[in-house]
Structure 1
Amino acid sequence: MTARVADYDFPVPPELIAAEPPERRDGGRLLQLTEEGQRDRMIADLPELVIPGDLWVVNDTRVIPARLFARKPGGGRVELLLIERLEGGCWRAWLRANRPPRPGMVLSLGDDRAVRLLERDGREWLLALEGDEQALLARYGHMPLPPYIGRPDLPADSERYQTIFARHPGAVAAPTAGLHLTEALMARMEAAGATFAAVTLHVGPGTFQPVTCDRLDEHRMHEERYRIGAEAAEQINRAVAEGRRIVCVGTTALRTLETAWHDGAVRAGAGRTRLFIHPGYRWRVVDALLTNFHLPRSTLLMLVCAMAGHGRIRAAYRHAVASGYRFYSYGDAMFIDRRRLGG
């Protein structure tokens, strides 16, 4: 186990960062980790990786158009990223402006004076959207593409930066492993013996933030909201009791299950998680993972190292770079079965 954050750094050639989704959702490449190393596959091969009896768990959060471009009363531009709607109707948000605004200022969205800044706490602001929130977001909101995509959002992103099973609005980033799945592909996986369950974790902006401290034990994990319904909890617990494989589609579904596991069962209900999974973690419920390729020094890279081993992941990422795999949110994916890898 390595505890130095610097050991999770590596170069990614800029040309391998996917700025656009693949032409087809299920048209990406898939790197399967094996006992011997790795095997190059396609996303369309996922049914071949199904073990009859598998339970595949997806995250059904829905990305909201959380990026807003507003103006101060004097005309200065302010970029806002909504993070979470609180009880009472206020929002937590990040703001970016040449000169920081002040509490009490009302910002304009187009012709609407619609954003009242209430208070500031470090990087974060508390604000209120005045008027019909849904109408304001529908008219002025932009899909919050990650900064590494390096372009403004386009109308097509409203569909392609959502999974096909997105149901519950609240995320400011997509659970990107789920972007690869289509109804036809899931039907083929079911024909191969898989069943599906859905949980909800509203992905926050902290998912893109690199770890800035020197050691893993110094990192303070960002917090995210999750919910597991009674039916999903029953599906998961029955599969575990029967010894069937639990496969998570994405790190957010994985962290939800690992957080909610108490006294030998996944508990239904809502909660918040700061679970930071890194090498040395003792696994509770998840056996396998479908995940995209992650940023250097990110908590998600540390999670996959916990599942497959630091050396194996480093080797897999070197292979992915050499083989021209596409990285990050709109990029290709990796499949890890930790039981077969001795994890």
Structure 2
Amino acid sequence: MSIGVSGSSESGPFRDVSVQPKEKKGTLEARTLAASAHVSANIAVVYQRTSPSPITEASKNITSIAGTSGKKGIFKGISTRRADSTGRPKRAKSKKAKKSGKSKRGGSVEDSEDIDEASQTPETEEMELTAITETGESDKEEYEEEQRREEFFARLKELAQSGESSDLQNIIDAAWGANGVYEDVTDAYDAIRAAQDHFAQSDEELLKNLSNSTLAAGNILNREEGPNIRAGYLIREVSPFAYGKEVKSYRDHVIAFTTVPEAFKSIFEETNGNPREFSKRIDTLTKYIQIDLKRQESTLDPVHLKYNMSQLYIVQMCGQVEKEVSLLLRDMQNFYGPKE
């Protein structure tokens, strides 16, 4: 059986509950999920249509809003291991203790005994193995970065020799874009700045001019993609081991924020509809925003950034409502649905 719900302005929306003829369980579940998604989408749309959106008004209330969502453990994934001067994590060492005494024959006896004060449990061994793996990956990334940097410099030289470096867009395209050496705009901007310093040291007039061209190209890229470039620097600082995933999420949901419904849909898809991950993702993003606001040069204007943060809290609230509605519909299905 399934639920037939009809309402009127006189009797209330859930007053008339009737039992309909048999219906397949799969159809009921599909309707339940569709109703859940429909309700949460309507909530977001209604809010967007009815709520005031002046940035100045949102910035006044952000302090009280932000106090309701602070949770610990957001940066649990950041490594806190201590390393020695080589940059590798320190290993626990065993110490030897000597015991002296008298033997039965009257002579002195010294027995050395290994005492492992930091006994190696499976957990500590796994942590050390992870640290070694990360060190190896870091070395590999540095090598690959050197290779990309050399490739980029070689492309710039070719542009200079062919006279194409005078078109600054060619320099930007060589660094970033469909045919660029770098996929991430922050990496591309770093490479352009490095090229400017590198070619400035040359005695060749051609390369000195190339240095000036790369400086101008870098200024253009920063003017066009400044927020996304600065977002890369932010995520490098707070979440270096998950850079790719985190920087994309921050750029998509904070830098490029448009409306509550669109942000809700995007984050819902990113977290595969998992309510816990949905809320955790927004907590992480708002933590990043709080750090961003304390930086000397934030990704966006602070007032704009605070406004986007306030909207993300509303997205989180919509997610909570969606969860509660889903639970309600599931309980109703269990109560009124067919009994096996």
TM-score normalised by structure 2 residue count:
0.25
Structure whose residues are more often helix by fraction: 2
Larger Rg: 1 or 2? 2
More strand, by proportion: 1
